[in-house]
Amino acid sequence: MPHRNGFFTFMANQKLMKFLDSIALFLLFTTLTFSQTDLSYYLPQDITYNPNIPTPKSIIGHEVGEWHVTHDKLVQYMYALAASTDRITIENRGSSFEGRPILLLTITSPKNHQQLDNIREAHMALTDQDNSNTSDMPIVVYQGFSIHGNEPSGANAGLLVAYYLAAAEGDYITELLDHTVILFDPSFNPDGLQRFAYWANTNKSKNLNPDPNDREYREVWPGGRTNHYWFDLNRDWLPVQMPESRARLETFHKWLPNILTDHHEMGTNATFFFQPGVQSRTHPLTPKTNQELTKKIGNYHAKAFDKLGSLYYTEENYDDFYYGKGSTFPDINGGIGILFEQGSSRGHLQESDNGILTFPFTIRNQFTAALSTLDAAKAMRVELLNYQHDFFKNARKEASQEQGKAIVFGDEKDAAKTYHLAEILKRHDIQFDELKNDVTLNGKHFKKGYSYVVPKNQKNTRLINAMFEKRTKFKDSLFYDISAWTFPLAFDLDYAEGVSTANAGAEVTHLEMKIGNVSAKSNYAYLMEWHEYYTPKALNKILNNDIRAKVGLKPFAVDANPYDYGTILIPVQNQSKNVDELYTFLKDIAQENHVQINGVSTGLTQGIDLGSTEFKTLEKPKIGLLVGNGISSYDAGEIWHLFDQRYDITVTKLDTDGLSKTDLSGYNTIIMASGSAGSDNVKVLKEWVENGGTLIGYCSALQWLNTNEFIKLDFKKMERIARDITYEQRDNYEGAQEIGGAIFEAKIDRSHPINFGYKNNTIALFRDTNIFVNPDKQSYNNPIQYTKDPLLSGYISKPNLDSLASTVPFRASRLKRGKVVVFTDNTNFRAFWYGTNKLLMNAIFFREEL
């Protein structure tokens, strides 16, 4: 029972007894039980605390650890704390999706606060200049908590860390604050923390019950781990698609911290983990010294935990490979990222392999790690500053060897998608230029205004490499997360590496999206090609205003202007709007959605004429999205986010609980993300499909759909027989057969409506499943098919790669009057796979033609 042990150690502490005497408030406490803990349980007791600084309890109304702090109370405390001391300034950097503030506290000595701009400029200059004197320079430490909302000991410990930094007195804290700028991010995930605090608090009993079966420890779907749209924010540091990440990345690049800490929780039976993780799984672009310094910092954690009597471990389970994680992202930016993982009490206390695990115990460990981090920062200050200096100096040397070289990326048909990759580069302080002229490079055509040039000789050249490289060789075959994220592939953009910077025009200082336009008012018809990223948003708005629109199944040309497969036709006559109204309406649509719409005066074309039966009338989508038990909340959340945030398309979230009693006749499309919809729902869904609905299934939903005879799929069977693998090696062996997340090439039949809007004959797909579907006998039923050697980037075992070759990631088949459409791969991965978003849109808008 760790908490009780702590209690007795604490009672034996003479210094503490003195402290108790000095503060009348504490005299009120005569007993300490599981449910009653005071500040002395957590805080160092060999120093004094400024009585003018408000304690957490005085503001939030309960002792730290007694209840789970809600985000609103956390905010309240941080503002109160900042108001009480000149060691802290506070700012709100933005809002989460649910409107919660994304706070940053800057904590340093009052003297440093007065010259903070100078300190920051000197710190940044350190990363830009060959010579630098670090002896008097403050170190910059970024401390962030509970990016997973249901791992709350971090954010609850944050109350104490902030209090300590504001209230502690004596030489140690004075010296620490003189030499450290702490960027303090009290809640990495405001919406998730609030959601979980609500759960844990509403299920708390007066008599705390450690029984793991209690509802308190069994959160309902989707749980508090993720943000509003159910995204894992600890995968978004590199793609920066979520508002929380955008705010913190701005702080990061503004300051380039030397240490960044990320406080998490893991399973209840675990102890405490701090990095370094598994060495063989460190990303090869991370300097070796980074891991050595991580280890050296680890010694400070070890010392503090030894003193506390808490069990811990390092160099197992976790790794430093994917730069989208908070503890790995700093490693490619000259800093040291540190992951902390605490065994979770999940609620207020729970039985575990290590005895009764109390919430206060988990909080105290996190608090201790936060302080040992600052201890390490103080002691290793010059070493870490010099490391950062050398990191950028060496990066400059590498970059200068690529003087005159650049990467060009773009899509001559899709300016918006190109813009969104450029936007990510901007968020990461990567410089880029306009393309000077239209040009063909390495066989690919790049159009001015639709392409950008990234010179390699610049400060963040290593980050550029981390974002653009294709890697297929690895030291280890296990990955904690994805093994590849090559951005131009995720965006399905053309790109050319090693090209001359002579192609560069003016530097892009102010990134703007292309302005949409209608070429001319027409009495006859309007045409919109389908390539631009926001065409589905435009089409949805057109259909929702009861304007008739059709899709062209074949390419054609009007007045020598070519129109590709999937062009949208809007006839002028017999619409609910007159000629002028329609023109104005479409002009607004074009501008809002950054698309080009052309007015044409004739229906006679080269190819299919505008009145041809090859133009099919489109129906407005009425979409249901299955959510709830059985369904992956990540995958469903990505779909919800895509429709709601990107395309302004209404989706009804249909819970799998109670679905069998729901009238589905109002929907023409239902999407089922990875998972199972449960045996209760087979009947209702099947009847709905048979009556004309289109059911779109993803990833592991294919197995459920196949088993329940919605669609007949021919899965490729994989037999895995371990040979010469010992018991000890079994986990590594099995793990190596997983596809943790890699990028593969498929060839596409552009004449098939599922591929409308794509201009190339191949596409890159993200895959993290072992589901292999054999192609249909009829080749025209295989419009997307993996190539014979499909690996583009990332790790896959040889047997899996052999199995994947020539299989199909997409199938569509009839079920009576309806249709079942399936994808083996997630086309909406983590909101940054812009390149495959259109596949789902095609399945929605062109469902009748599949």
Instruction: Kindly state the smallest distance separating residue 263's Cβ from Zn ion, in Å.
Output: 9
Instruction: Kindly state the smallest distance separating residue 226's Cβ from Zn ion, in Å.
Output: 10
Instruction: Kindly state the smallest distance separating residue 230's Cβ from Zn ion, in Å.
Output: 15
Q: Residues 727 to 746: which contact Zn ion by CB under 5 A?
A: none
Q: Three-state DSSP class for 679?
A: helix
First CA to last CA distance, the chain? 61
Distance, in Å, from the CA atom of 82 to the CA atom of 87, rounded to the nearest integer, reads 8
Whether omega for the bond prior to residue 276 falls within 30 degrees of 0, making it cis, is yes
Beta strand pairing call for 561-563 and 556-558: antiparallel
Q: Residues 133 to 162: which contact Zn ion by CB under 5 A?
A: 148, 151
325 lies in the site for Zn ion, by CB under 5 A = no
Instruction: Kindly state the smallest distance separating residue 224's Cβ from Zn ion, in Å.
Output: 11
Distance, in Å, from the CA atom of 736 to the CA atom of 731, rounded to the nearest integer, reads 8
Cβ nearer to Zn ion, comparing 273 with 468: 273
Instruction: Kindly state the smallest distance separating residue 346's Cβ from Zn ion, in Å.
Output: 12
Residue tagged 């954010």 (tokens): 155
Instruction: Kindly state the smallest distance separating residue 731's Cβ from Zn ion, in Å.
Output: 21
Cβ nearer to Zn ion, comparing 233 with 542: 233
Instruction: Kindly state the smallest distance separating residue 66's Cβ from Zn ion, in Å.
Output: 23
Distance, in Å, from the CA atom of 789 to the CA atom of 809, rounded to the nearest integer, reads 15
Cβ nearer to Zn ion, comparing 148 with 747: 148
Cβ nearer to Zn ion, comparing 151 with 414: 151
Looking at the DSSP bridge assignments, the partners of residue 672 are 697
Cβ nearer to Zn ion, comparing 109 with 342: 342
Binding-residue pattern over the window 548 to 587 for Zn ion, x denoting contact by CB under 5 A: ----------------------------------------
The count of other CB atoms within 10 Å of the CB of residue 377 is 26
Residue tagged 């025009």 (tokens): 505
Cβ nearer to Zn ion, comparing 265 with 768: 265
Instruction: Kindly state the smallest distance separating residue 220's Cβ from Zn ion, in Å.
Output: 19
Sheet arrangement for strand 742-748: 762-767, 742-748, 784-793
CA-based torsion, 189, 281, 240, 490: positive or negative: negative
Cβ nearer to Zn ion, comparing 151 with 494: 151
Binding-residue pattern over the window 395 to 434 for Zn ion, x denoting contact by CB under 5 A: ----------------------------------------
Instruction: Kindly state the smallest distance separating residue 281's Cβ from Zn ion, in Å.
Output: 17
**Among positions 3, 264, 281, 427, the unique one binding Zn ion when judged by CB under 5 A:** 264
Beta strand pairing call for 451-455 and 517-518: unpaired
Cβ nearer to Zn ion, comparing 265 with 825: 265
Do the beta carbons of residue 695 and residue 653 sit within 8 Å?
A: no
Q: Residues 680 to 699: which contact Zn ion by CB under 5 A?
A: none
Q: Which residues contact 185 (CB under 8 A, 6 or more apart)?
A: 103, 104, 105, 142, 143, 144, 145, 248, 251
Cβ nearer to Zn ion, comparing 148 with 830: 148
Q: Which residues contact 691 (CB under 8 A, 6 or more apart)?
A: 665, 816, 817, 818
Distance, in Å, from the CA atom of 768 to the CA atom of 742, rounded to the nearest integer, reads 7
**Type of residue at 340:** F
Instruction: Kindly state the smallest distance separating residue 148's Cβ from Zn ion, in Å.
Output: 4
Cβ nearer to Zn ion, comparing 144 with 239: 144
Number of shown-chain residues binding Zn ion (CB under 5 A): 3
Cβ nearer to Zn ion, comparing 318 with 772: 318
**Type of residue at 194:** Q
Looking at the DSSP bridge assignments, the partners of residue 274 are 340
Cα-to-chain-centroid distance, residue 243:
10
Cα-to-chain-centroid distance, residue 329:
12
CA-based torsion, 151, 156, 157, 161: positive or negative: positive
Binding segment (CB under 5 A) for Zn ion, from list 262-270, 378-386, 443-451, 685-693: 262-270
Distance, in Å, from the CA atom of 684 to the CA atom of 662, rounded to the nearest integer, reads 8
Do the beta carbons of residue 776 and residue 808 sit within 8 Å?
A: yes
Distance, in Å, from the CA atom of 416 to the CA atom of 420, rounded to the nearest integer, reads 6
How many residues in the chain?
A: 850
Cβ nearer to Zn ion, comparing 85 with 245: 245
Cβ nearer to Zn ion, comparing 148 with 427: 148
Burial of 80-99, coded b for 16+ CB within 10 Å and e otherwise, reads bbbebbebbebeebeebbee
Cβ nearer to Zn ion, comparing 148 with 541: 148
Cβ nearer to Zn ion, comparing 151 with 635: 151
Instruction: Kindly state the smallest distance separating residue 229's Cβ from Zn ion, in Å.
Output: 18
Beta strand pairing call for 433-435 and 451-455: antiparallel
Sheet arrangement for strand 433-435: 494-500, 405-410, 451-455, 433-435, 504-507
Residue 201 has which token pair?
């608090």
Instruction: Kindly state the smallest distance separating residue 144's Cβ from Zn ion, in Å.
Output: 12
Residue tagged 């292309």 (tokens): 514
Looking at the DSSP bridge assignments, the partners of residue 444 are 441
Cβ nearer to Zn ion, comparing 44 with 741: 741
Binding segment (CB under 5 A) for Zn ion, from list 257-265, 303-311, 462-470, 789-797: 257-265
Instruction: Kindly state the smallest distance separating residue 151's Cβ from Zn ion, in Å.
Output: 5
Instruction: Kindly state the smallest distance separating residue 635's Cβ from Zn ion, in Å.
Output: 19
Q: Which residue is nearest to Zn ion (CB)?
A: 264
Instruction: Kindly state the smallest distance separating residue 374's Cβ from Zn ion, in Å.
Output: 22
Q: Three-state DSSP class for 650?
A: coil
Cβ nearer to Zn ion, comparing 480 with 556: 480
Q: Which residues contact 554 (CB under 8 A, 6 or more apart)?
A: 565, 607, 608, 614, 751
Distances (CA, A) of 770 to 23, 702, 703, 803, 809: 62, 12, 12, 9, 11
Cβ nearer to Zn ion, comparing 151 with 319: 151
**Type of residue at 178:** D
Instruction: Kindly state the smallest distance separating residue 372's Cβ from Zn ion, in Å.
Output: 19
Instruction: Kindly state the smallest distance separating residue 711's Cβ from Zn ion, in Å.
Output: 36
Instruction: Kindly state the smallest distance separating residue 339's Cβ from Zn ion, in Å.
Output: 9
Q: Three-state DSSP class for 187?
A: coil
DSSP per-residue letters across 419-441: HHHHHHHHHTT---EEESS-EEE
Q: Which residues contribute to the site for Zn ion (CB under 5 A)?
A: 148, 151, 264
